[in-house]
Amino acid sequence: MIVKLHALRVYIDGTTGSLVTISTMRVLVVLGLVAAAAFQVASAGSYSDGGAAVQKLVQDLNDGKLLEQKHWFSLFNTRHRNEALMLFDVLIHCKDWASFVGNAAYFRQKMNEGEFVYALYVAVIHSSLAEHVVLPPLYEVTPHLFTNSEVIEEAYRAKQKQTPGKFKSSFTGTKKNPEQRVAYFGEDIGLNTHHVTWHMEFPFWWNDAYGHHLDRKGENFFWIHHQLTVRFDAERLSNYLDPVGELQWNKPIVDGFAPHTTYKYGGQFPARPDNVKFEDVDDVARIRDMVIVESRIRDAIAHGYIVDSEGKHIDISNEKGIDILGDIIESSLYSPNVQYYGALHNTAHIVLGRQGDPHGKFDLPPGVLEHFETATRDPSFFRLHKYMDNIFKEHKDNLPPYTKADLEFSGVSVTELAVVGELETYFEDFEYSLINAVDDAEGIPDVEISTYVPRLNHKEFTFRIDVENGGAERLATVRIFAWPHKDNNGIEYTFDEGRWNAIELDKFWVSLKGGKTSIERKSTESSVTVPDVPSIHDLFAEAEAGGAGLAKFESATGLPNRFLLPKGNDRGLEFDLVVAVTDGDADSAVPNLHENTEYNHYGSHGVYPDKRPHGYPLDRKVPDERVFEDLPNFKHIQVKVFNHGEHIH
Ligand SMILES: [Cu+2]
């Protein structure tokens, strides 16, 4: 069966057609061509804004003001973003599901495809009407942004010749480029999906007037990019590469990049040679402005306060400071002073992305760094984020270290920490459909076209944690991290170096009875990860069968579970594995967490369940590691991560 996004279909508990009923489980596919006659813009009474947003969009549409179809779309392009947000504004103000779907189907016909897909995805993620909707994996919806151009060309040829095809995807570049050893990480379709989905859950343009507040958005921005940064360094270690050096505005960008990726409309993603020196980018930013903004932020960190747009001082030398700094650095609409602190991250993405053609002489489309789907393909993404991560570290290092009294959980001790099963990573082939990569042409039927790509996975394992509770029954938070034992020169990390490089593996709550509790926690249960969303084909099939198993795919925001462990090596890459068991009643921001195994670590809806800062208790500097080594509710062991067999390039 070929599942092509030809028709608008909403499956409701396995039945097609009824667009009105709201039920608990749906797969929404409004991405293809629709019999437009069936759908119209809903009437004014169907909107919570009285139809203001839809009137504005229809007006611009009728006046021919909107971006044409079959043109590339970039969220960092102000015009493109504004148009996508006009549609988002329409959808988020729909009062009922029928209006939501009707509008989606109608504007799918009229608007630019990229704007449409973006607006629809973000609306489904944020609208309360679409709470239990499962969205298809983006790599099957917009395969161009995830797949190498060589394979896309083969897909077109297969369609032309009317011959089904299954094509192998290889990672970009050759072994002459050491960076290619870790291309499996930056080019992983699941990692790219994680990154783009996170930015949809926490958009920088989010305004609380849309209906809800995004809890700890700025801190979350810091944390997911910090995790990407330390993960990439761990992958490099396993592949005998030095850690990423931070980007510096006054130094050349050492590594060039040839993306081998193409837009569906608008040509190839531009390349950048090695050792390019930063140049001002016309109509975007001058390098010295980047330096000025950076120094204002560093100044705020040194002072311990920021100045808001009215000149008031806001203290950041506390636990909440990281959240404000994240808002400022990204920057998001939550930034208290964009005028002064600028938008370091967003502007840097564009400036870096355009270094191949800074003066716009060659009329090139935006670079990979200007799309969240493609950004991590370019190794300079990680240089940029190392640079910002070090700014965040400057702030964290200014906070007073935790004392033993801060971290203790009186009467509770961890007596045993062990891994059941071997920690072993491996590469497997993964196949996905390219049917949406090729154009539709009247009279030319579809044929099955797919690609398969090697991707990192790991064997399942279980953490065993024995906890002794000297008191009455109580709630505990269990936090598990790991960091590489040695650096790239084989020198052991100090505790303080290690903890900053810690990879978050899991966080969950348990109820401890008096006496001993043996906790068995499976790798598949990790709350920092999500399972792979099934293919469009399988989503359709599962929805038709009733959709009972689809609930776990409602949020696709976390890291793919198969990415939980960094790649090991033949001899076993050494890691320090630590667990901290802290006071659950003091930590939890919502009740009954120990009964809730479903919560998504990164989800944006409602209050984040853990009151502690991300990375707690390893988020602050540790001048004396005895604080941890003497802590009964903390356990520290060494483990090895293996990867046998060949590394696939
Ligand atoms: Cu990002």
| Contact predicate 377/258, CB 8 Å | no
CA–centroid distance, 487 to ligand 1, in Å, is 26
Distance 33 CA to ligand 1 centre (A): 31
The model's pTM is 0.93
Classify 560 as helix, strand or coil. Answer: strand
Q: What pLDDT, on the 0 to 100 scale, is given for residue 44?
A: 81
Tokens of 577: 């594995």
Token output for 392:
């965040």
- Residue 559 C-alpha to ligand 1 middle, in angstroms? 13
DSSP 325-353: HHHHHHT-TT-S-HHHHTTHHHHHHHHHH
User: How many angstroms does the Cα of residue 636 sit away from the middle of ligand 1?
Assistant: 31
pLDDT of amino acid 604: 52
Torsion region of 342: left, alpha or beta (phi above 0 gives left; psi -120 to 50 gives alpha): left
Give the amino acid at 566: P
Ligand 1 centroid to Cα of residue 533, in Å, is 21
Say what the pLDDT of residue 6 is: 35
**CA pair distance 625, 493, nearest whole angstrom:** 12
188 CA from centroid of ligand 1 (Å):
15
Beta-carbon count within 10 A of 43 CB = 10
How big is the chain by its Cα radius of gyration, in Å? Answer: 25
What percentage of the chain reaches a pLDDT higher than 90? 80
What is the whole-number distance in angstroms between the Cα of residue 425 and the centre of ligand 1?
A: 25
392 CA → ligand 1 middle, Å: 15
3-state secondary structure 143-205: HHHCCCHHHHHHHHHHHHHCCCEEEECCCCCCCCCHHHHHHHHHCCHHHHHHHHHHHHHCCCC
Distance 277 CA to ligand 1 centre (A): 23
Burial of 27 (0-12, 13-18, 19+ CB in 10 A): buried
State residue 603's pLDDT score. 53
Higher pLDDT, 37 or 585: 585
Could you tell me where the beta strands, DSSP code E, fall in 523-621? 529-530, 559-560, 573-583
- Strand partners of residue 640: 574
Q: Ligand 1 centre and the CA of 128: distance in Å? A: 25
Structure tokens at 237: 């270690």
The tens digit of pLDDT for each residue in 338-354 reads 999 999 999 999 999 99
Rounded to the nearest whole angstrom, what is the distance from the C-alpha of residue 381 to the centroid of ligand 1?
9
Pairing of strands 529-530, 559-560: parallel
Q: How remote is the CA of residue 121 from the centroid of ligand 1, in Å?
A: 17
Which residue from 579, 597, 618 is spatially nearest to 463, judged by alpha carbons?
Answer: 579
Beta-strand runs (E) in 336-423: 412-420
**Ligand 1 center–CA 588 separation, angstroms:** 27
Q: What is the rounded CA–CA span in Å between residue 502 and residue 513?
A: 30
The CA 426 to ligand 1 mean position distance, Å, reads 26
Measured in Å, residue 447 CA sits from the centre of ligand 1 at 35
> How much distance in Å is there from the Cα of 143 to the middle of ligand 1?
19
Least confident of 223-227, 438-442, 620-624: 438-442
Quote the pLDDT of residue 440.
77
Strand-pair category, 133-134 with 9-12: unpaired
Omega before 331 within 30 of 0, i.e. cis: yes
Residue where the block lists tokens 């437009």: 36
Q: What is the pLDDT of residue 416?
A: 98
Distance 602 CA to ligand 1 centre (A): 14
Cα 186 to ligand 1 centre (Å): 12
> What pLDDT does residue 444 have?
83
Q: SS3 for 595?
A: helix
The alpha carbon of 226 and the centre of ligand 1 are apart by a number of angstroms equal to 10
Q: 120 C-alpha to center of ligand 1: Å?
A: 20
User: Is the Cβ–Cβ distance between 379 and 286 less than 8 Å?
Assistant: no
Q: Going edge to edge, which strands form the sheet with 412-420? A: 412-420, 462-469, 515-522
CA of 116 to the centre of ligand 1 (A): 21
* Per-position b or e across 350-363, b if 16+ CB within 10 A of its CB: bbbbbbbbbeeeee
Side chain identity at 411, as an amino acid letter? G
- Sign (positive/negative) of CA torsion 546, 552, 557, 561? negative
Residue type, 453: V
348 Cα: distance to centroid of ligand 1 (angstroms): 12
Ligand 1 mean position to 368 CA, how many Å? 12
Q: How far is the CA of 148 from the centre of ligand 1 (A)?
A: 21
| 546, HSE (Cβ side, Cα atoms, 13 Å) | 2
How much distance in Å is there from the Cα of 195 to the middle of ligand 1? 6
Ligand 1 geometric centre to CA of 228 (Å): 9
d(CA 203, CA 217): 9
Is the separation of the CB atoms in 328 and 306 below 8 Å?
A: yes
Rounded distance from Cα 377 to ligand 1 centre (Å)? 12
Long-range contacts of 628-631 (CB under 8 A, 24+ apart): 628/407, 628/495, 630/404, 631/404, 631/407, 631/408, 631/580
Inform me whether the pLDDT recorded for 435 exceeds 70. Answer: yes
Average pLDDT, the chain: 90
> How far, in Å, from the CA of 435 to the mean position of ligand 1?
28
User: Which tens digits make up the pLDDT trace of 595-630?
Assistant: 665 555 445 567 888 899 999 999 999 999 999 999
- Tens-place pLDDT, residues 514-571: 999 999 999 999 989 999 999 999 988 888 888 888 888 888 888 999 999 999 999 9
Q: Please report where in the chains the tokens 């449409």 appear, as a residue.
A: 116
Position 625 scores a pLDDT of 95
For Cα atoms 360, 365, 366, give the angle at the middle one, nearest 5 degrees.
Answer: 90
The CA 2 to ligand 1 mean position distance, Å, reads: 33
Output the pLDDT for position 377.
94
Q: What is the pLDDT of residue 446?
A: 87
Kindly give the distance from the C-alpha atom of residue 539 to the centroid of ligand 1, in angstroms, as a whole number: 27
The widest CA-to-CA distance across the chain, in whole angstroms, is 75
For position 596, what pLDDT does the model report? 63
Q: Per mean pLDDT, which range of 147-151, 230-234, 441-445, 521-525 is the poorest? A: 441-445
Distance CA 541, CA 433 (A): 15
Query: For the ranges 35-44, 455-464, 555-564, which has the lowest average pLDDT?
Result: 35-44
Ligand 1 center to residue 68 CA distance, Å?
27
pLDDT of 2 > 50? The answer is: no
Q: Rounded to the nearest whole angstrom, what is the distance from the C-alpha of residue 619 to the centroid of ligand 1? A: 20
Min mean pLDDT across 28-37, 115-124, 305-314, 500-509 is at: 28-37
Q: How far is the CA of 184 from the centre of ligand 1 (A)?
A: 18
Query: 106 versus 554: which is more confidently predicted?
Result: 106
Rounded distance between C-alpha atoms, residue 284 and residue 280, angstroms: 8
Distances (CA, A) of 55 to 44, 367, 641: 9, 34, 57
Tell me the mean pLDDT in the region 293-310.
Answer: 98
Sorted by where each starts, the structural domains of the chain and their CATH numbers stand as: 22-133 (1.20.1370.10), 178-398 (1.10.1280.10), 404-423+459-528+564-643 (2.60.40.1520)
Task: Give me 463's structure tokens.
Answer: 């953490």
In residues, how long is the chain? 649
Residue 12 has pLDDT above 60, yes or no: no
- Summarize the confidence of residues 244-261 as an average pLDDT: 94
- Whether 26 contacts 134, CB under 8 Å: yes
Q: Distance, CA 343 to ligand 1 centroid (Å)?
A: 13
Ligand 1: distance of its center to the CA of 227 in Å?
Answer: 11
Say if residue 19's pLDDT is above 60. no
H-assigned helices in 399-473 = 404-407
Distance 150 CA to ligand 1 centre (A): 26
Rounded distance from Cα 190 to ligand 1 centre (Å): 14
Range of weakest confidence among 35-39, 165-169, 446-450, 615-619? 35-39
Of the candidates 222, 140, 135, the one whose C-alpha atom is nearest the C-alpha of residue 437 is 140
Six-digit token string for 245: 């050096």
Per-residue pLDDT band at 487 (split at 50, 70, 90): very high
Report whether 488 contacts 505 (CB < 8 A).
no
Question: Cα(196)–Cα(329) distance, rounded to whole angstroms?
Answer: 18
Please report the pLDDT score of residue 133 as a whole number. 87
**According to the model, what pLDDT value does residue 23 have?**
37
CA of 199 to the centre of ligand 1 (A): 7
- Compute the distance from residue 491 Cα to the ligand 1 centre, in Å: 31
Distance (angstroms) between ligand 1 centre and the Cα of 372 equals 6
Say if residue 645 is exposed, middle or buried (CB neighbours under 10 Å; 0-12, 13-18, 19+): exposed
User: What single-letter DSSP state applies at residue 51?
Assistant: T
pLDDT value at residue 648: 53
Q: Determine the pLDDT at residue 333.
A: 97
User: Is residue 13 predicted with pLDDT exceeding 80?
Assistant: no
- How far does residue 194's CA lie from ligand 1's centre (Å)? 10
Decide: residue 348, CB within 10 A, 0-12 exposed, 13-18 middle, 19+ buried: buried
